[in-house]
Amino acid sequence: MAAVFDLDLETEEGSEGEGEGEPEFSPADVCPLAELRAAGPEPVGHYEEVELTETSVNLGPERIGPHCFELLRVLGKGGYGKVFQVRKVQGTNLGKIYAMKVLRKAKIVRNAKDTAHTQAERNILESVKHPFIVELAYAFQTGGKLYLILECLSGGELFTHLEREGIFLEDTACFYLAEITLALGHLHFQGIIYRDLKPENIMLNSQGHIKLTDFGLCKESIHEGAVTHTFCGTVEYMAPEILVRSGHNRAVDWWSLGALMYDMLTGSPPFTAENRKKTMDKIIKGKLVLPPYLTPDARDLVKKFLKRNPSQRMGGGPGDAADVQRHPFFRHINWDDLLARRVDPPFRPCLQSEEDVSQFDTRFTRQTPVDSPDDTALSESANQAFLGFTYVAPSVLDSIKEGFSFQPKLRSPRRLNSSPRTPISPLKFSPFEGFRPSPGPPEPMEPPLPPLLPPPPPLPSSTAPLPIRPPSGTKKSKRGRGRPGR
């Protein structure tokens, strides 16, 4: 039914509540409408009739839904849904390429923690803006699905490039680790811990700069002295305090960065075994073996990242990322230039067009892209869990695909190139043991864990890393690698 508004317009000067001390207006100063009121009601024909419709009320951002996007390719697939490469075919940013992450509500609402983590992921993607963190463009929902529209990071996963190379030279690793350090420092400054740092969750954009993705395991509001106890992550990169459930804070991300650094420089994470239990045992009390070919600065930083006591760990003190940045391993990094993305990445993806998906796994990209019918009807109470999910970015920028997993995962090993610069040999007994460096005495880790600790300030400055040769050889298959998450 149409409603009629009595449009009572006033000038700015004539509005009420101006505050004390303002001069009073004489009748002559008042808007002519005051005289009309004094003269009595006007005939209805002199008023404007406004019908309340979707068009007249919702004059804000465009209405976004699945119909606004054309499916181009499948980029990834998991237990909760799929990730597609899409093109926007309606409204603003017409023709722009995005990644569309589609999640099934019915699978998420089965577990209250999954629901909470999904909402946290969406909230973090909306609120966190940083050059090395993926950015949300749109979020919307239908009766049975949730949609996150993110920048399509066409450089693919860091995992793919590390798998192709086998190991990275130190200047290459230094570049990626430095960009990740800035991203983690920004998250920590916002009170967010990431908790799932690994090569699969680090994407490259078309220029070769990193973007952290997959915020499903993040925890918000971890500020001064706060800890959390959720047992989550990917086993090979999990800090010991998560495994022993003693309570953890942002220091877990610096352990994971140390495990990632070791992985980049040797070809596998520092603690691996043929099953989850043995891997956890090694993380809690195993010895750290450092290959002899690492430089003294690299050895020192890895050892400091992989201290079992979080309060003694590099980055674990009040300085957080600033302490990491000051380490001699990063002495050639100009942090201001790095943050402004003025430093050339060591590898620039070779892409033919904006739609090029050559850096993604062909197991997915060869599939026919189909967003299956939305036939699930959730109850009203179940749908309440997703109130406020819809979002349109004030400025539509950059983002990408991820996978979600609440239960810790055991990660399959990479297959390495046999290269003269890979002085490491595989262990005999198991495919999950990964690769242990040859010669060189083991360096013992310190004893298990004590307590935890507080957060950090911002960051400092230093000159840029050297680029490395681009990846060589053909892409190896990700043998036995199951894509974790959604």
Query: SS3 for 53-122, per residue?
Result: CHHHHCCCCCCCCHHHEEEEEEEEEECCEEEEEEEECCCCCCCCEEEEEEEEHHHHCCCHHHHHHHHHHH
Q: How far apart are CA 269 and CA 236, in angstroms?
A: 6
**Catalytic residue check, 196:** yes
**pLDDT tens track for 248-267:** 999 999 999 999 999 999 99
The annotation places the binding site at 101
Contact 446, 311 (CB under 8 A): no
pLDDT over 50 at 225, yes or no:
yes
- Is the predicted pLDDT of residue 318 greater than 70, yes or no? yes
pLDDT in tens, 403-462: 333 445 555 555 443 333 333 223 332 333 333 333 444 444 444 444 444 444 544 444
Of 114, 196, 214, 361, the active-site residue reads 196
pLDDT band at 240 (very low <50, low <70, confident <90, very high): very high
User: Cα separation of 115 and 120, whole Å?
Assistant: 9
In angstroms, rounded to a whole number, what is the distance separating the alpha carbons of residues 451 and 454? 11
Helix (H) or strand (E) run with residue 427 in it:
none
Question: What is the band of 49 on the pLDDT scale with cuts at 50, 70, 90?
Answer: low
Instruction: Output the known binding site for ATP.
Output: 101
Alpha carbon distance, N-terminus to C-terminus of the chain = 44
pLDDT tens, position by position, 105-128 = 888 877 777 787 788 888 888 888
Q: Which domains does the chain have, with CATH numbers?
A: 158-201+224-351+409-437 (1.10.510.10)
Q: For residue 200, which of 349, 411, 346, 399 has the smallest C-alpha distance?
A: 411
Q: Comparing 139 with 31, which gets the higher pLDDT?
A: 139
pLDDT greater than 60 at residue 279: yes
Look at residue 50 and give its three-state secondary structure.
coil
Q: What is the pLDDT of residue 380?
A: 64
- Positive/negative CA dihedral, 358, 363, 368, 371: negative
Six token digits for residue 55:
């068009």
Length, in residues, of the chain: 486
